[in-house]
Amino acid sequence: MKNIFALLLLIGWATLTSEAQNSPNVIIILVDDLGYEDVGFNGCLDIQTPNIDTIAAEGVTFTNAYVSYAVCGPSRAGLITGRYQDRFGFGRNPLFAPNDANMGLPLSEETLAEALKKANYKSVALGKWHLGAHESLRPLKRGFDDFYGFLTGGHHYFPEYWTLQDEYEVKSQFDAYKTKLLRNDMRIEEDAYLTDAISREAVSYIKEYKDRPFFMYLAYNAPHGPLQATDHYLKRFEHIKDKKRKTYAAMVSAVDDGVGQILNTLDALGIADNTMIYFLSDNGGPEKVNASDNGPLRGGKGEVFEGGIRVPFAMRWPNKINGGLVYEAPVISLDIFATAIAQSATPIQTKNTIDGVNLIPYLTGNDKGVPHGFLFWRKFDANQHAIRQSNGAKMVSLNDKSMLFDLTTDLSEAHAEIDPHGPDSETIEAQYNSWDNSMMDPVFMGLQEDKAYSAKHPDRFERKK
């Protein structure tokens, strides 16, 4: 009997070892509110991002890369599920509501961590969560083995501002920026600058997980406001005279340092070649708010023009992707989920039908087509939507007024055909209507509704017994 038990253990260990050798590690580095032209691989001149640029130089740069929404919460919900977030009613930014089990990612949805767990991956979420503050919606309940970070949509960067012991001391939405950080389910003391602390934890977990396939969801809140940086990073940008832009640049540089630490750790451990690492922003830069730069793109965060939804996006996986590749067909953040699960040594059956596409056959040239014929965006409350066709045609509808652009010749969306009519516009609108009919209305309240509700229920943040 003992021999049989030992044999089973040996078989189990051999299986895990085989998977560790064959299934790639997956690291998603997601930054917050980064401008399209604020990385070197997209042409930035005043902010140096050598480590981020290494991902692009040794992998692939996506020149027509999008996220599924123009603000952070819904965009993150799409990325982590591989599905358009409107399929499950996540059409608004979730509020900080620790007593509301419906304010966040519905339990009907499967996260990438939950999917990869089926193939014996270890998973950690670091930094910004913003997918629900209720105890049932937190990372450890959504497939992650570990968590270090905060639950709300933003946070102060300096520890002296972290004065609230837990979520039930929060009395307004932005109070949550002052909560102490969480390690798993415990509030902790931390004395490091937030971006540096998140980078430190990323390195630590890579070392801890190195002997089996792992998934790291590394969600920096930088360079999202408040604009706060240490002298260590500010001193690098004496050439930038605009104070806001200088602080923003310092915050981006702190992230770049962290990326460098991660790349060096992967190299030192000998696991870089079989690690699939992504870098992207959750939406476009809010230029007037944080001095980001979206370059030639029209608009910014919150808009369905290119400046709100087209993002810097690079990927590296030395075992499969040749360095220096530039991929120009449209891709979307939803594809990360599909690409990751398709590479597992153990086949993964997803809980739900996903909208993302496995990009590897397109990057290797085995598939000569394009990943997506059409991509879609919807701002339900603003009555706005957009449709991007793979050939460069893009329809933008604002309050039922339609504009048709050709992005191949008009990347800045400066020259619109107003209220277009014809075969192309009819095809695009028909595609959108078909997609829209399969979406849901938002399932939780927005900020304005919350303000009205809070005025009538001043105790809404208190712990419910």
- Residue 369, class by beta-carbon neighbours within 10 Å (0-12 exposed, 13-18 middle, 19+ buried)? exposed
Structure tokens at 30: 């997601």
Given the residues 130, 156, 224, 372, the one annotated as active site: 130
Contact partners, residue 251, CB within 8 Å, separation at least 6 = 157, 195, 222, 223, 227, 228, 229, 233
Structure tokens at 457: 């229920």
Give the pLDDT of residue 425: 84
pLDDT band at 436; cut points 50, 70, 90: very high
Q: What is the mean pLDDT of residues 190-219?
A: 98
130 as an active site residue: the answer is yes
pLDDT band at 450; cut points 50, 70, 90: low
- DSSP track, 232-249: HHHGGGTT--SHHHHHHH
Give the pLDDT of residue 463: 64
Closest to 304 measured CA to CA, from 393, 355, 378: 378
Looking at mean pLDDT, say which of 8-22, 163-177, 394-408, 420-434 comes out highest: 394-408
As a whole number of Å, the CA-based R_g of the chain is 22
How far apart, in whole angstroms, are the C-alpha atoms of residue 93 and residue 130? Answer: 9
DSSP assignment letter at 184: T
Contact partners, residue 347, CB within 8 Å, separation at least 6 = none
| pLDDT digits 0-9 by tens, 377-388 | 999 999 999 999
How far apart, in whole angstroms, are the C-alpha atoms of residue 207 and residue 187? Answer: 23
Pairing mode, if any, of strands 417-418 and 25-31?
unpaired
| pLDDT digits 0-9 by tens, 13-35 | 445 544 455 899 999 999 999 99
Give the pLDDT of residue 13: 46
pLDDT exceeds 70 at position 213 = yes
| pLDDT digits 0-9 by tens, 98-147 | 999 999 999 999 999 999 999 999 999 999 999 999 999 999 999 999 99
The secondary structure element, H or E, covering residue 377 is: strand 374-379
How many C-alpha atoms does 137 have within 13 Å on its Cβ side?
Answer: 25
- Cβ atoms of 54 and 404 within 8 Å: the answer is no
| pLDDT digits 0-9 by tens, 274-288 | 999 999 999 999 999
pLDDT exceeds 70 at position 414 = yes
Cα distances (angstroms) measured from residue 92 to each of 76, 244, 284, 389, 443 = 11, 28, 17, 25, 9
- Cβ atoms of 217 and 199 within 8 Å: the answer is no
Q: Is 305 helix (H, G, I), strand (E, B) or coil?
A: coil
Strands (E), 25-181: 25-31, 60-62, 65-66, 122-128, 146-150
Give the pLDDT of residue 21: 58
How far apart, in whole angstroms, are the C-alpha atoms of residue 228 and residue 222? Answer: 9
pLDDT exceeds 50 at position 363 = yes
Q: What is the mean pLDDT of residues 442-465?
A: 68
Contact partners, residue 160, CB within 8 Å, separation at least 6 = none
Closest to 398 measured CA to CA, from 415, 418, 412, 375: 418
pLDDT band at 455; cut points 50, 70, 90: low
- Between CA 365 and CA 373, with CA 367 as vertex, the angle to 5 degrees is 120
Structure tokens at 184: 């798993």
Q: What is the mean pLDDT of residues 288-314?
A: 98
Given the residues 44, 72, 224, 372, the one annotated as active site: 72
- Cβ atoms of 170 and 93 within 8 Å: the answer is no
pLDDT exceeds 80 at position 10 = no
Q: What is the mean pLDDT of residues 33-56?
A: 98
Structure tokens at 293: 């730069």
Residue 272: alpha-carbon gap to chain centroid: 21
Q: Is 279 helix (H, G, I), strand (E, B) or coil?
A: strand
Give the pLDDT of residue 445: 81
Structure tokens at 306: 């290119």
Range with lowest mean pLDDT among 8-12, 25-29, 238-242? 8-12
How far apart, in whole angstroms, are the C-alpha atoms of residue 164 and residue 175? Answer: 8
How far apart, in whole angstroms, are the C-alpha atoms of residue 229 and residue 47? Answer: 14
Closest to 276 measured CA to CA, from 204, 188, 217: 217
- Residue 192, class by beta-carbon neighbours within 10 Å (0-12 exposed, 13-18 middle, 19+ buried)? middle
- Say what percent of the chain tops pLDDT 90: 86
pLDDT exceeds 70 at position 247 = yes
pLDDT band at 52; cut points 50, 70, 90: very high
pLDDT band at 171; cut points 50, 70, 90: confident
Mean pLDDT of the chain: 93
Residue type present at position 148: Y
How far apart, in whole angstroms, are the C-alpha atoms of residue 149 and residue 179? Answer: 10
72 as an active site residue: the answer is yes
Q: What is the mean pLDDT of residues 66-77?
A: 98
- Cβ atoms of 20 and 270 within 8 Å: the answer is no
- Angle 72-81/335-342 helices, nearest 10 degrees? 20
**Whole-prediction pTM:** 0.94
